[in-house]
Amino acid sequence: MTAPTRETLTINMGPQHPSTHGVLRLVLDLEGETVRACTPVMGYLHTGIEKEMETRTYYQNVTLVDRIEYVASYLEEMAFYLSVERLLGVEPPPRARTIRILMCELNRIASHLVYLGAAANDLNISSVFMYCFADREKFLDLSEMVSGQRMMPGYFRAGGVASDLPGEFVPAARAFLEVMARRVDEYERLLSDNLIWRERTEGISVLSREDAIALCATGPVLRGSGVAHDVRKVLPYGGYDEFEFDVPVRAGGDAYGRYLVRLEEMRQSRRIAAQALERLPDGPVLIADRKVALPPRAELARSMEAVIHQFKLVSEGIHPPAGDSYVATESARGEKGYYVVSDGSNRPVRVHVRAPSFYNLQTLPAMVIGHPLADVVVAIASIDIILGDVDR
């Protein structure tokens, strides 16, 4: 009989693994149950969106933008259009700005519901998964009301939004926020009082404050490691400075801290959305600059000029002046920004997406090395990656 030897075993986790939340492959060196090295291998979902965007007009590009972080499409469109509007030098009217913030915050709640459900499901708490997705369904209905689409809305436009909110939307959104107030408390009781959840997340996959900053983590991952950094607060964009909300921070840096941060963010998003519904100003939802925004449908029957503008915008698109722009926004996963370079033609020369999931995933080895294999699942879930965002 041979004596047991200490040797490292290299295994592939993924790309087809239920807890990698997509197609992510991790090459793990194991010593018994302990992870000694972790190399994420991505690109399985790389669709060349940045390259494709160079061949399309700005209007066409929204279709691609929606598909990057596909559970938070409104936030994605917000980031893209803020950057394009910075190039164009236009500002959306007040009503459009409030509608944008309203949709973004509703979307943030839905996105965190996906995180909560998926993270709980990874630890075999599948009832929370079902509840969360049932609640998210209500947001998808709201999205369908305003944009006609449940996902991939394509609702924002350069200089505003595509159409005004339908009459039934405001009461439905109020009802959704009403329900969510209770539901978030319920989820907190379901998970925070759950022994399995507590034991499997408290003190697990710890990311120190120093590592989080050095490895470019943003969003709930950074705030879960004790840094009060929220782009909506430090670099307000799109009108966020007019809203009251708090930035939740946890110093622990563990998976439990990131869960608490996201839970509290859902409450804060609810607060912002309620303020937006309260103050929703009257007025147009799209600017009147006909070189940027389509003329209203009714004008087309009366004005030849409107027909020409419509034709030019549809067949040619907008021409932002030459230059580059980057506007930082706070997506559900961290800082999202579009670096757009224009040469004055109807297509961007370069569009780069600052993808929060890509940068946050970089912290994974720091979280899992030296810890048991089973905690890798917890770490991935707590970073809340969207592979469409990592691979683009």
Which of 166/323 has CB closer to other proteins? 323
Which of 130/214 has CB closer to other proteins? 214
Pick one of 133, 350, 369, 372: the residue that binds other proteins (CB under 8 A): 350
Based on the shown chain and the rule CB under 8 A, indicate whether residue 132 belongs to the binding site for other proteins.
Answer: no
Which of 109/231 has CB closer to other proteins? 231
Based on the shown chain and the rule CB under 8 A, indicate whether residue 57 belongs to the binding site for other proteins.
Answer: yes
Mark the segment that binds other proteins (CB under 8 A) among 11-19, 44-52, 66-74, 371-379: 44-52
Based on the shown chain and the rule CB under 8 A, indicate whether residue 232 belongs to the binding site for other proteins.
Answer: no
Based on the shown chain and the rule CB under 8 A, indicate whether residue 258 belongs to the binding site for other proteins.
Answer: no
Residues in 270-329 that interact with other proteins by CB under 8 A: 291, 312, 315-317, 319, 322-326, 328
Mark the segment that binds other proteins (CB under 8 A) among 55-63, 100-108, 277-285, 376-384: 55-63
Based on the shown chain and the rule CB under 8 A, indicate whether residue 48 belongs to the binding site for other proteins.
Answer: yes
Mark the segment that binds other proteins (CB under 8 A) among 72-80, 131-139, 148-156, 358-366: 358-366
Binding mask 177-216 for other proteins (x = CB under 8 A): -----------------------------------xxxxx
CA–CA separation, 135 and 122 (whole Å): 19
Within the chain, what is the greatest distance between any pair of CA atoms? 94
Q: CA-CA-CA-CA torsion for 69, 71, 77, 83, nearest 10 degrees? A: -40
Which of 252/372 has CB closer to other proteins? 252
Which of 344/370 has CB closer to other proteins? 344
The number of beta carbons lying within 10 Å of the beta carbon of residue 172 is 17
Q: Give residues in contact with other proteins (CB under 8 A).
A: 42-43, 46, 48, 50-52, 54-57, 60, 86, 212-216, 218, 222, 227-229, 234-235, 291, 312, 315-317, 319, 322-326, 328, 335, 337, 339, 341, 343-347, 349-350, 352, 354, 358-359, 362, 391-392
